[in-house]
Amino acid sequence: MKSYIIKGFLIIFLIISIYLLNDTSKNILEKKLLSEWKNNTHIKITDLIKKNFKLACIVYPYSSEIINNLNFKQIEKINNYLKKNKFNLPEDKWALTILNNNNEIEIFIFKRKKIDIVSTKVDIVKVIEFNNNECVNSKNGFFYLYSKKKKKHMIIGELK
C-alpha cells in the first residue's frame, strides 16, 4: 500500500514538474515587455535582457531553426543546438534565441496571443527608419513595438 502512495505521489510530482517547465508564461522578457509596452517605440535588446550578446535571432512559428541566408557560423551554431534538442515551435509561439558572449544559447519563448512577431516589413517600419533582420548583434539590435487591431506586435532589427 505504501509503495502505491509513493508511486502516485511521484507521478503527480512529475506531471506538475512537466507543466511548470513547459509554462512559457514564465518568460521574463515577455512579462517585462507587456508591463512596459509603449506603442510605436523601439527598445534596445540589451536594455531588455540586461547584458551584451553576440547574436539575437528569431525562430518563427512552425519552425525549428533560424533562417540562415547569410551563412553565419553563429546562426549555424544556434541551429545545431536547436536540432540537437529537437526544438520545434507550434503555430501559437515564437522564440528569441540569444548566443551570449560565453557561447551559451538562451531561448525565450513568446506566446503570439500576447506579443506576435512580424517577419516582413510593414508600412509603419518605413516611417521610423528601421531595418528588420532575422538576427541582430548586441550593438545594433532593437525591437520595434506597435499595436494593430488591438494586438501587440514586435519586429526585430536595427535602426538606420
* pLDDT for position 71: 73
In tens, the pLDDT along 34-65 reads: 888 998 888 999 998 888 999 999 999 999 99
User: DSSP assignment, residue 26?
Assistant: G
Q: Is the pLDDT of residue 109 over 90?
A: yes
Residues sharing a CB contact under 8 Å with residue 52, sequence separation 6 or more, in sequence order: 46, 101, 138
Q: How confident is the model at residue 124 (pLDDT cuts 50, 70, 90)?
A: low
Query: Which comes out higher in pLDDT, residue 23 or 140?
Result: 140
| E strand intervals along 2-150 | 41-44, 53-59, 93-100, 105-111, 116-117, 130-132, 135-136, 142-148
* pLDDT for position 23: 45
Q: Please give the average per-residue pLDDT across 137-156, as a whole number.
A: 89
Residues sharing a CB contact under 8 Å with residue 158, sequence separation 6 or more, in sequence order: 130, 131, 133, 136, 140, 141, 142
Domain ranges of the chain: 27-159
Q: Please give the average per-residue pLDDT across 113-122, as a whole number.
A: 80
